[in-house]
Amino acid sequence: MSSNLQGKKVLFITANTGIERDELLKPMQALKDQGASVTHASVKGGEAETWLKDSKKDVSVQSDTQLKGVGAADYDLLVIPGGTVNADNLRQDEDAQRLVQEFRDAGKTVAAICHGPWLLIDAGVVPGKVLTSYASVRLDLANAGASWVDAEVQVCPGQNWTLITSRNPDDIPAFNEAISQALLAA
């Protein structure tokens, strides 16, 4: 990844537990290394617990703020990490749903990996979009009106906003590259 993302602002949103570690920390670090300003907002603020493969608690990280206190106007791009427990909690959070809708309405890029697209379903933004996800989310997305593809990374620029999706932690390098490219164009 050869780019300079100085001045670009990225918002990561999570629940406070069950976040797939690498889907949060690797994209955050890659963007910081390129000069982007990164903010992590969690549902409750404070400590957020990461997991490995949805089965083993890993490191806890401090989120920068609560979801309730942030808005799309202050950021260039939104990232939604996976983790089954994280995604299931996040999809039910009204502030998380509001943020996704704000980014869409502002024509800004949203990126989601693994189970992260569950939030997109509950926010009502997937009809007509083409995306990928963890395989078990495929039917949920199709039932919500999206077209699903099995791809390392899927970039869908339709409907005046860009959606970037990936399937799992193995796809993180391609996911990070797609996010960087979207930020360069923002």
Residue 1, pLDDT score: 43
Which one, of 14, 2, 6, 1, lies nearest residue 113 by Cα?
14
| Burial readout 147-178 (b: 16 or more C-beta within 10 A, e: otherwise) | ebeeeebbbbeeeebbbbbbbbbebbebbbeb
**Matching residue, tokens 């791009």:** 77
Which one, of 139, 51, 35, lies nearest residue 87 by Cα?
51
Domains and CATH numbers, the chain: 9-185 (3.40.50.880)
Query: Which tens digit of pLDDT belongs to each residue from 17-26?
Result: 999 999 999 9
| Burial readout 26-48 (b: 16 or more C-beta within 10 A, e: otherwise) | bbbebbeebebbbbbbbbebeeb
- Annotated active-site residue in 111, 114, 156, 164: 114
Q: Is 115 one of the catalytic residues? A: yes
Question: Is the confidence at residue 3, as pLDDT, over 90?
Answer: no
Q: What is the mean pLDDT of residues 140-149?
A: 98
- Annotated active-site residue in 21, 91, 104, 115: 115
Query: Which tens digit of pLDDT belongs to each residue from 38-90?
Result: 999 999 999 999 999 988 999 999 999 999 989 999 999 999 999 999 999 99
Per-residue DSSP letter, 18 = -
Q: What is the mean pLDDT of residues 17-36?
A: 97
CA distance linking residue 1 with residue 140, whole number of Å: 33
**Matching residue, tokens 């997991």:** 51
Q: Is 114 one of the catalytic residues? A: yes
